[in-house]
Chains A and B, each alone.
Chain A
Amino acid sequence: MNNVMAKFDMDELLNCMHCGFCLPTCPTYQQTGLETFSPRGRIGLMKGVAQGKLPLDETFEKNMYACLGCRACETACPAGVRYGRLIETAREVIEDYKRATGQRSAVRRSVVRKVMFKQVFMRPKMLKAIGTVLWALQAIGLQRFADKTGLIRILPRSMAEMQEAVDKVASPRARQARQKSIAPVSVAADAAVGNGAGSVVESETRPVAGLGAASPAAEPRRTYETVWSRPLRIGMFTGCIMDLMFYETNQSTARLLAKAGCEVVFIEQEACCGALHAHSGEKSDAVSLAKRNIEAFERANVDLVVNNAGGCGAALKEYDDWLKDDAEWAYRAKRFVEKVRDISELLVDLPPLKFTKSLNARVTYQDSCHLAHGQGVRRQPRALIRSIPGVEYVELPFADSCCGSAGIYNITNFDMSMQILDDKMKHVKETKPDIVVTANPGCLLQMKKGILRAGLEDQIEAVHIVDLLNRVVD
């Protein structure tokens, strides 16, 4: 029991000085107006449990799982409190404690947990099998099937409702036909890497200090200098949900990279990134997945690891933190993390894409929380969208506020998730876009769902940024 509690990072908890700066940015506090639903309140509760002033009971568990884990509070916090870690630890302590005392979780989550975390996401084969089943169901019409069999009544309402938003999944045959590697498309001589991009030499150039640095143009920039006469070798991190539900988006990602002069390889041994496990208190599973990935990508000998799901990317970039106390793995994790890039982050630094079409549309962008708050990637996807010929870019008010998807939150906390989504849709509606762009599969599904709920399916479309770019390059 005591060593369970010892996992709380007391210094980090004390670092929160209760100023409340994070409250206005927290979607659950905005919905409820209650401190139990605020970052400051949640940190206070963690402190209470860590100090033994509060019992580690179901009330505490419920409150810890009512958090989206969107980390907007982290961006807002002047004290630099690493809330993302605190909430992960709190959930880890809850799960450890329940295991140690033989307690069971609240029912709904326990079903989701057992099936998803222990079976599905730990085994790539299982995921493929699910893909096949989903494809088959869709082929015969899932809605009809579910209605007919009464499946819809057995599924939790949240899952049943969410499935309306699911796209067509790829057929097993298409998956089998995936090439293991895609060669670079030769780039025009005038492009920066025309003579062959090389192993990555990154130079971080910071602008000279001075107040001028406040302008966005002065953000640090990475440049990929040409050293070898060979293209950048990219390990494609496909992600499990992404590959299951948005297989084509992964294929497009690889094609875009090839067009930008990169060699892209798919890695057979890739495992789930571990984000969902870490966010749900299953840290040891998350860590073993991390090790599998580090090993697999090391073996593939890639220059960079690229992903197109903000949630996965944030987890991949935290591997060094997960493994910092492991003598054998700490260095390997650090090396791995240095190579991880979100697709937008990399594309803006590669030679500009050659657009062959224009897109006459009003486009807006909904940040992925873990891309914006977790990885600090905000400017790049916007810049890419703006660069498309014909696009009228409009900024969505509160774009970096969570859409309510938040991993499996829209299943476990369906009502709150939908309240947050409905608020989000009000802003979308005011913005009047033709297209809402997202950068993470969970957000994409949620926005599709939101569009359906708001009855806007004839006016607005939700699209992954890669798919948008893919529409305008041949």
Chain B
Amino acid sequence: MIDARLVERLVDIVGPKWVLRDSNELHVYSFDATPIVQAFPDVVVMPGSTAEVAEVLKLANDHGIPVIPRGSGTNLAGGTIPVQGGIVLNMTRMNQIYEVDEKNLTATVGPGVVTGEFHKTVEAKGLFYPPDPGSMRISTIGGNVAQCAGGMRGLKYGVTKDYVIGLEYVLPNGQILRCGGKNYKDVAGYDLTRLLVGSEGTLAVITELTLKLLPLPETKRTLSVFCTSLVDAARIVERTISARIIPATMEFLDQATMRVVDDFSHLGLPRDVAAMLLIEQDGPEEQVVRDVERIVQIARSEGAVDVQMAKTPEESAKLMTARRAALAALSRLRPTTILEDATVPRSRLAEMVEAIIRISEKYQVQICTFGHAGDGNLHPTCMTDERDEAEIARVEQAFEEIFATALSLGGTITGEHGVGMTKMKYLSQRVGEGGIELMQAIKAAFDPNGILNPGKVVAKAFRPRMVVRQP
């Protein structure tokens, strides 16, 4: 589809070093962190500036070639799989932190900046950028924004969309536009910034971001709460929040997840409890101490068998790091790890947890659950083997029932990982046919030729999750 002349044009735009085309190069950009799905691009292009992005897009648009923006490829919804071939546009070279504005408490960065590096930079100045997805050591800010990534501090601080106040973006026709900026208030026209956050690379390519920062909280404390039943843990979360305490973090891990995490991190976690909550509160010392005491009381009265407080900041950090590794650590257990992202209102958390246990028994599949309990966002994770077709079919059925349950509890099919290609099938159940049509119209307004990340989110045709395996 992409002939030699077009490749030459791409080389003219970004330079020969940044156009990748040999068999191995195409192979390593044919997958992301999503299990099973894979498809090959025709070429991988790594632009170094907004102007280059614009030229590449214009060229692709003129020739009807798909363009798939890509950060670090850690998304879990097949968001960067080039299902129709084309150009994978890798944004990691645009990784400059242009400015940390200590007067306005904002920062302006390129989309390729690694989230964890950004944290370090702003924290060194006593500032704070709360979104912290589990993948933050490697994910890019551009990818976070395109996915509206959540993280472990969502309960108190919200998610990525709450921190994006300005964008520079490029439309498929090569137009370079800006929305928002450093103004904390701005109601000039539709809020395109919000629209682009979470657009999963289907509307425009984001080339620069202005982010809101907070002062770094004065102190924090971390608690580990151990429970003999999953439902007890869920209830502790519900009770804490209804007692009007909003911790920064309330993470949930079931027994199997605790074990694999411990195998990796050597924390010495107890092996015989059913679940643990990892709770962190931050803020002024006095308030943190008061909140933590109250949480300990609630936990004990709701049946926690043990509550421990991390003794040092290093110990807290180690616990949080261990939790971030949960998903990857689970993949120790079986060859294929499929994780989902069902989310319910917090008050329905215990019900959801019970339903997951029931469903995993019904379909005879191994499901471990961990997640951002404080956000009602669970990650039921299925350990399976992609080579066993019969089992994969049961996994599919189990997840279908989990989604249906989440929706019936007033929840959603994905809290933070996005629709991508793997959840398109369920989207209409959540937003309705009318919702899909409206989204398709919005997509057409940005991208009339449908070149940006085709086959994702609101595409007209979708493939079932498990089958994309074309060489």
The answer to whether A binds B is yes
Provide the bound-state CA to CA distance between A23 and B20, in Å: 19
Q: Which residues of B contact A (CB under 8 A)?
A: 20, 22-25, 27-35, 46, 72-74, 92-93, 114, 116, 135, 137-139, 224, 261, 263-264, 266-271, 308, 310-311, 314-315, 318-319, 325-329, 331-332, 335-337, 385-386, 471
Contact, CB under 8 Å: A78 / B72? no
Contact, CB under 8 Å: A44 / B31? yes
Contact, CB under 8 Å: A63 / B33? no
Provide the bound-state CA to CA distance between A35 and B23, in Å: 13
Q: Closest B residue to A37 by CB, please name it.
A: B28
Top 6 nearest A-B pairs by Cβ distance? Answer: A213-B268, A14-B335, A78-B325, A78-B328, A41-B28, A35-B28
A43 CB to nearest chain B CB (Å):
10
Chain A residues contacting B326 (CB-CB under 8 Å) are 78
- Is A110's CB within 8 Å of the partner chain B? no
Contact, CB under 8 Å: B138 / A20? yes
- Is A48's CB within 8 Å of the partner chain B? yes
Contact, CB under 8 Å: B138 / A33? no
User: Which of A24, A40, A207, A211 has the most chain B CB atoms closer than 10 A to its own CB?
Assistant: A211
Contact, CB under 8 Å: B335 / A11? yes
Question: Could you give 21 example pairs across A and B, Cβ below 8 Å?
Answer: A11-B335, A14-B386, A15-B332, A17-B327, A17-B337, A20-B72, A20-B73, A21-B325, A33-B46, A34-B28, A38-B28, A41-B28, A44-B28, A45-B28, A59-B23, A59-B24, A77-B328, A79-B331, A209-B269, A210-B270, A211-B267
Chain B contact surface mostly: loop
Provide the bound-state CA to CA distance between A21 and B327, in Å: 11
Contact, CB under 8 Å: A17 / B35? yes
User: Which of A19, A38, A213 has the most chain B CB atoms closer than 10 A to its own CB?
Assistant: A19
B36 CB to nearest chain A CB (Å):
10
Contact, CB under 8 Å: A211 / B327? no
Chain A residues contacting B46 (CB-CB under 8 Å) are 33
Give 1 or 0 for each of A218-262: 1 = CB within 8 Å of chain B CB.
Answer: 100000000000000000000000000000000000000000000
Q: Closest B residue to A29 by CB, please name it.
A: B138
Contact, CB under 8 Å: B135 / A19? yes
Q: Closest A residue to B327 by CB, please name it.
A: A19
Chain B residues contacting A21 (CB-CB under 8 Å) are 135, 137-138, 325, 328
Chain A residues contacting B332 (CB-CB under 8 Å) are 15, 78-80
A239 CB to nearest chain B CB (Å):
30
Contact, CB under 8 Å: A53 / B471? yes
A72 CB to nearest chain B CB (Å):
13
Contact, CB under 8 Å: B24 / A60? yes
Contact, CB under 8 Å: A80 / B308? no
From A18, A77, A211, A215, B308 is in contact (CB under 8 Å) with: A211
Chain A residues contacting B139 (CB-CB under 8 Å) are 20
Contact, CB under 8 Å: B24 / A20? no
Chain A residues contacting B319 (CB-CB under 8 Å) are 211, 214
User: Which of A40, A48, A78 has the most chain B CB atoms closer than 10 A to its own CB?
Assistant: A78
Chain B residues contacting A11 (CB-CB under 8 Å) are 335
A16 CB to nearest chain B CB (Å):
8
Provide the bound-state CA to CA distance between A21 and B326, in Å: 12
From A33, A55, A57, A218, B93 is in contact (CB under 8 Å) with: A33
From B23, B308, B386, A55 is in contact (CB under 8 Å) with: B23
B97 CB to nearest chain A CB (Å):
16
- Is A212's CB within 8 Å of the partner chain B? yes
Contact, CB under 8 Å: A19 / B328? yes
Provide the bound-state CA to CA distance between A41 and B73, in Å: 11
Contact, CB under 8 Å: B24 / A207? no
Q: Other than A80-B329, A211-B311, give 18 A-B pairs with Cβ distance below 8 A.
A: A17-B33, A20-B138, A21-B328, A33-B93, A34-B25, A35-B25, A35-B28, A44-B31, A45-B28, A48-B27, A54-B24, A57-B23, A59-B24, A78-B264, A78-B332, A80-B332, A207-B268, A218-B268
- Is A405's CB within 8 Å of the partner chain B? no
Provide the bound-state CA to CA distance between A211 and B312, in Å: 11
Q: Closest B residue to A209 by CB, please name it.
A: B268
Contact, CB under 8 Å: B325 / A18? no
Chain A residues contacting B27 (CB-CB under 8 Å) are 44-45, 48, 53-54
